[in-house]
Amino acid sequence: MIRTGVQTKNIVNDGHPEEGFSMIKRAGFSCADFSLNGYLLNKEIYQSSLNRFFDASVSELERFFTPHKKGAEAAGVTINQMHMPYPVYVPAGEKQVNDYLRNEVAPKSMAVCAFLKCPYIVVHGFKLARFLGSEEKEWEETEKFINFIAPMAKEMGITLCIENLYDGIGNHLVEGPCCDAVKAAERIDRINEKYRAEVLGFCFDTGHANLVGIDFESFLTTLGGRLKVLHIHDNDGRDDLHQIPFTFAKTRENKTSTDWEGFVRGLRQIGFQGTLSFETAPVLSAFPETMKQDALSFIARIGEYFAGGVSAS
Amino acid sequence: MHISCGTQGIVNSKHPGQGIKDIALAGFQNIFLDLSVVCPVWELENVGKSAQKRGNGASWIFEHPEEMRSRGGFLADQSAKGGLKISVSMAPYLNYSTKRDDLNNLLERLTQESVMVSAQAHCRYLIVRPLTAGIGNADLREVNRAYYLRLAERAKKYDIQLLLENQCRNHNGHLIRGFCADGRQAAQWVDTLNEAAGEERFGFCMDVGACNLCGQNIYDFVLSLEGRMKAVILRDCDGSSDSALLPFTSVAQGQSQTDWLNLIRGLREIAFDGELILDFHDTAVAFSPLLKPELIHMAKSVADYFAWQIGMESLLKKYPSRVLFGAGNMCRNYLKCYGEKYPPLFTCDNNGKLWGSVFEGLEVKNPQVLSALPKDCAVFICNIYYREIEEQLRQMGIENPIEFFNDEYMPSFYFDRLENR
């Protein structure tokens, strides 16, 4: 049975995490994408001004996240996926920052993932093609990182999920790491074979794919069963807006400019049985506080609509 | 590499003289004949909607496709008189946003006529877009395979090579990856068609604008088509709206919005030596006719610059030995990317404090030693003050070839830059 989920950012707070998880459940979701990346923001990483959240020991982190774990359980929400802070490598960044990301943040993220009994963690590939000259060489560096954490993943029963990303040229967003489904499939198979375990899978981000004109159906059918996790959100094809699906139109006919039909067809063709998870946190900060629950319920309803399409014979 | 100037926006199909002259005076020797100048997109979009005749009494071309030959032929003749060769032509096409799914037979007829026009114009390549309107995904492959193979028969007769081109697909106003947008699949298309044709009747034309609209990894795209890539259409756009702007003019936050770095990296790596087409018709249309000659001159310089950047490695290869001038970041970048393959004998610099030192493993010498170089050894200037240094060397009596090296578009980059050298 296909489930629906949503990211916890802008819903679950550290003071009373149980309230946020209840809200998620009331909206109609049964799963949550735990926004671990919210504890070490990418803007701060790029500016080398890291907070010291991940200085805490694993047991301290487990203590910190115990209310979250209990809150989710009490609400009947499964934490099915989470997001490792990103980037995990800053090109031309300070060595101590990159060492910290690799040696502290990544392993502790894995530990938190295991503690929350979450089966999937999304990791970002390194953005190095400009410097190294090609996506292949860029991937070699990402693969070194994957090889660093894959043994942990295997031991903990977690699947790392690489995600299709974008990069920027001026204000034009273009293909970043992991936008080639054929290459991704080959790499996932090769690495899983090496570890004799499903340590690597794929997270398909609809918004990122839409920004770079990827054909959803073709991409998803190429990935097939390697697709483990989704980041569902919409945009105008120009900016990474993380909005509600079906929001954007570009012509007077006012039809959705994102290929949601292709998305559903693709998932149906590969027999996707995972979680339709929405990465739509900005929606919740855009709507007035009093409408937050309604907005969330609406997103959940869209999830049900998608689920119906994916399950249809 | 042949550089061609697109005629759209510059050459009027009925009064082509001035546009052709402007192109020739700018230094172009070849043009790209987009036959939509004689059978415009708007005309195709209006097929059957109006019985109105053209103002000058001429009929609509869709009513008399055979007139493609006379109208295209007229342009070809005028171009030849103006001293321009037609290197590549393109058959008429519909917009990505078209809703006309009833014109496939007409498009095929017009394309067959375009083969004849190309033959008349002694043009080797004809770009033919696929038939997509009204054809579902399931049938797209078979319909177009049959279409291209029918065209191949006539193309063979007139010895024209048909070029497939990467396309966008319009999804409710959003342009996404369409036919041949995947480099590997495009390569497979070309190979399969050639196999069926029994000869190399098909090749590929890369539309950089279409790649940019889909935010594609241009380097990978180029590499996957190596050997099949016969032509490249250079055009700029903002990555969202389908336009043909002069390269380097679609800019935001001080940066180009097209990934020229990966285009040049890719074309340099495959040693591209085919047809380089500059299509800037939207820019050209926006300019006053009074300013167009200067614009076309500028366009020629831009095209030459691309050809030079793409051919950088070939330039290094051309000389049996070489020395560098400059001992800074550009020299460092040379050594990183080409030092092993094309090792310089030494470098020199005007900064006397550096003489005798070793920079990145290369000895830095006084420029005076250049006068003792073997005659066929080239001096590659690795400093942005190219013209000043070139003048200095000539004044020193250096008669060796002097070339400019440039590190704006390198196969790879250092993570840092050296400061205060």
Q: Does A221 touch chain B (CB under 8 A)?
A: no
Q: Distance between CA A4 and CA A232 in Å, rounded?
A: 10
Facing B412 at nearest CB: one of A92, A133, A257: A133
Across the interface, whether the CB atoms of B177 and A180 are under 8 A apart is answered no
* Same domain, yes or no: B260 and B360: no
Is the domain spanning A3-311 CATH 3.30.70.20? The answer is no
Phi, psi (rounded to 5 degrees) for A127: -100, 90
Instruction: Please report which residue ranges of B225-380 form alpha helices under DSSP H.
Output: 260-269, 281-286, 292-310, 312-318, 329-338
Residues of chain B found within 8 Å of residue A92, distances taken between Cβ atoms: 415-416
CA-to-CA distance for B386 and B403, rounded, in angstroms? Answer: 9
- Between chains, do A175 and B217 touch, taking CB under 8 Å as contact? yes
Asked if B169 is an interface residue toward chain A (Cβ–Cβ < 8 A), one would say yes
pLDDT tens digits for range A113-123: 999 999 999 99
In a domain, B329, yes or no: yes
Counted domains in chain B? 2
**Nearest CA among A86, A115, A116, A113 for reference residue A101:** A86
B117/B205 same-domain check: yes
Where does residue B141 rank: exposed (0-12), middle (13-18), buried (19+ CB within 10 A)?
middle
**Does residue B340 form part of some domain?**
yes
Q: Within a domain: residue B409?
A: no
Residue B421 is predicted with a pLDDT of 61
State whether B246 and B294 are in the same domain.
yes
What number is the average pLDDT over the span A8-26?
Answer: 97
Give me the pLDDT at residue B58, please.
64
Q: Does B7 touch chain A (CB under 8 A)?
A: no
How does DSSP assign B37-57, residue by residue? GTS-HHHHHTTTT--PPPTTS
Cα distance from N-terminal residue to C-terminal residue, chain A: 14
Same domain, B382 and B270: no
pLDDT value at residue B50: 61
- The domain in which residue B51 lies consists of 2-310
Q: Is A258 an interface residue toward B (CB < 8 Å)?
A: yes
Q: How far is A78 from chain B (nearest CA, A)?
A: 35
Asked whether the bond before A119 is cis by omega within 30 degrees of 0, the reply is: no
> Which of B262, B284, B310 is the last residue before a domain boundary?
B310
How far apart are the C-alpha atoms of B46 and B123, rounded to whole Å?
29
Tally A–B CB contacts below 8 A: 110
Q: Does B184 touch chain A (CB under 8 A)?
A: yes
Q: Which of B169, B176, B257 sits opposite A169 (nearest CB)?
A: B257
Query: Which residues in chain A are closer than 8 Å to B222, comparing Cβ atoms?
Result: none
Cα(B123)–Cα(A169) distance, integer angstroms: 36
| pLDDT tens per residue, range B311-351 | 999 999 999 999 999 999 999 999 999 999 999 999 999 99
Q: Are residues B305 and B326 in the same domain?
A: no
Domain's final residue, options B293, B310, B327: B310
8 Å CB contact between B140 and B189: no
* Domain-terminating residue out of B255, B290, B310: B310
At B153, which CATH number?
Answer: 3.20.20.150
Mean pLDDT across chain A: 97
The CATH code of the domain that includes B385 is 3.40.50.720
Is the CB of residue B253 less than 8 Å away from at least one CB of chain A? Answer: yes
Inter-chain touch A257–B175, beta carbons under 8 Å: no
Closest to B250 in 3D by CA, of B236, B233, B264: B236
Position A313 scores a pLDDT of 76
The C-alpha atoms of residue B117 and residue B266 are separated, in whole angstroms, by: 32
Q: Give the whole-angstrom CA distance, residue B327 versus residue B363.
A: 9
Mean pLDDT across A78-94: 95
Q: CA-nearest residue of chain A to B248? A: A170
Instruction: Report pLDDT digits (tens) over A192-206.
Output: 999 999 999 999 999
Hey, what amino acid is at A236? D
Q: List Cβ neighbours of A266 (8 Å cut-off, separation of 6 or more).
A: A216, A217, A218, A219, A220, A221
In the prediction, which pLDDT does B79 show? 96
Domain-embedded: residue B414:
no
- Asked if residue B419 is part of any domain, the answer here is no
Do residue A169 and residue B219 have CB atoms under 8 angstroms apart?
A: no
B185: chain A residues, CB-CB within 8 Å = none
Q: Which of A127, A131, A134 to mutate to test the interface with B (most CBs of B within 10 A)?
A: A134
Nearest-Cα distance to chain B for A112, in Å, is: 33
B331 neighbors B343 (Cβ within 8 angstroms)? no
Residue with tokens 């180029």: B222
Q: Specify the 3-state DSSP secondary structure of B66.
A: coil
B237 with B342, same domain: the answer is no
Q: Please tell me if residue B175 touches chain A, with a CB cutoff of 8 Å.
A: yes
Contact (CB, 8 A) for B181 and A212: no
Q: Distances from the Cα of A289 to the Cαs of A7, A58, B171, B200, in angstroms?
A: 17, 34, 34, 65
Query: Which residue type, as a one-letter code, is found at position B325?
Result: F
CB-CB neighbors (< 8 A) of B410 in chain A: 133
Chain B contact present for A171, CB below 8 A: yes
What the block records as the tokens of B396 is 């020193």
pLDDT (0 to 100) of residue B54: 57
Average pLDDT over residues A231-240: 97
Cβ–Cβ under 8 Å, residues B196 and B149: yes
pLDDT band at A48; cut points 50, 70, 90: confident
Tell which A residues from 260 to 299 touch B, by Cβ distance under 8 Å. Answer: none
A169 part of contact set with chain B, CB < 8 Å: yes
Taking only residues 204 to 243 of chain B, the set having a beta carbon closer than 8 angstroms to any beta carbon of chain A reads 212-217, 219-220, 238-240
A190 at B interface, C-beta within 8 A: no
Rounded CA-CA distance B334/B315 in Å is 13
Q: Which contiguous run of DSSP H or E holds residue B347? A: strand B347-348
Which residues from B are below 8 Å from A250, CB to CB? Answer: 172-174
Domain positions in chain A: 3-311
Helix, strand, coil percent content, chain B, rounded in steps of 5 = 40, 20, 40
User: Above 90 in pLDDT, residue A215?
Assistant: yes
What's the pLDDT score for residue B59?
74
User: Hey, which residues 384-413 in chain B have their CB within 8 Å of chain A?
Assistant: 410-413
Q: B65 in a domain, yes or no?
A: yes
Residue showing tokens 């105008």? A236
What is the tens place of the pLDDT at every residue in A126-184?
A: 999 999 999 999 999 999 999 999 999 999 999 999 999 999 998 999 999 999 999 99
- What pLDDT band is residue A111 in, cutting at 50, 70 and 90? very high
Same domain, B325 and B306: no
Name the phi and psi angles at B365, rounded to 5. -120, 165
Nearest Cα residue to A268 out of A222, A309, A218: A309
Distance of residue B258 Cα from the nearest chain A Cα, in angstroms = 7
State how far residue B94 is from chain A, nearest Cα, in angstroms. 18
Q: Is A213 on the interface with B (CB under 8 A)?
A: yes
Measure CA of the first residue to CA of the last residue in chain B; give whole Å: 37
Tell me which residues of chain B have a pLDDT lower than 70. 50-58, 420-421
